[in-house]
Structure 1
Amino acid sequence: MQLAVGPLMQKLNRDFYNRDTETVARALLGKILVHHVQGVPRMARIVEVEAYLGPTDLAAHSSKGLTRRTRAMFGPPGHAYVYLIYGMHHCMNVVTEPEGSGTGVLLRAVEPLANVEGSTRGPGLLTRAMGIDLSHYGHDLCSDELHLLEPEDAQAPRIVATPRVGVGYAKEWADKPLRFYIAGNPHISRK
């Protein structure tokens, strides 16, 4: 399916990201992720995310403090924190809250809209299909190459909150309902 970018689709600005992480996580649902690859815009609707609440959140990378790996997560809001897991899968977080917070929102699944091939049901599959890798570490999401849009047909989705996936090691943080997805969307990573 092709999606035309109309005049009413606005790029999200820095203020959108510079808010409470859980608020941003919920607000990202339904937004359009756009990545221009060799002049072709790959576009997908965000349908599933997870919030990571900073150094006190034992599931967050920032709980280990400021490191070379987490530098972008402690940076200004509205930037990408991209990292490699299992030596083969890239994952992308949207950095939130004021600089130094170490907070972010993991993009877990998207619904393909234009020029996206392959499965997008999971953070590693999403980045592969969207062409996002470590070269986007710290990338400004208010740029033209990689950004998020408010869709013309923006409607408040019905949101489901559950515990995050794969964070059983995070003690009391493992069961907190910080995974959010659009109810009934067939593109979420797991039910």
Structure 2
Amino acid sequence: MCLRSLGFVLIVFPGVLLGEISAQRCDAPKLLHGYFIPRQETYSDKAIITYSCDNGYKPVVDSWWATSTCDRGKWSHEPQCIDESACFPPTIPNGKYPENSNGWYEDGSTLRITCDGGFEHQNQFTTTTCGNGKWSSAPVCERSVSACSAPPKISHAVIIHGYQEVFAAGSEVQYECEDGYTAHTEKSVCIQGNWTPVPTCSKLTV
């Protein structure tokens, strides 16, 4: 009985391991307008391919050639060649815009930039347009004069709010005193660049 059970285990385990290894392999990518090396039908986990694109096209990453790694049955990024007039996502400090699921934007695409809380547009420009692979002058988000820096540190207290360096006008934070202390005012509001009122934590008296 014991020998039969042992034999059964020895037969099943290799099959399971073989199935797991197969599931982690990657099929060769279907790369239009480009070529890659080494060329194989399948690739083992962690295998790396290098690819480049035909004239008039470019990789979906910001370089004329790119690499992609087989990671548990999927490529770290799907090798793709896009029109060289397309644009990669712009970098807008302290600003955000609608993200394209493709990871790139077609020529002629226009993005409306929204500044983060505590920041405002430096001028009237709020959009940027992709043209021939480059973005037009992007809007600049600068700190608002009415914004506040991080709330002041209060002895024997913590702030019930995730850390951030800049707060928009009207932002509100709540302090909580440690055990044995109490606050007369628990909340502070950002008003014209200043936090007011500033709470204090006083020791409880028996």
Tell me if TM exceeds 0.5. no
TM-score by length of 1: 0.22
Greater Rg over alpha carbons, structure: 2
- Higher relative CO (CA 8 A, sep ≥ 6), structure 1 or 2? 1
TM-score (norm 2): 0.21
The structure with the largest helix share of the pair is 1
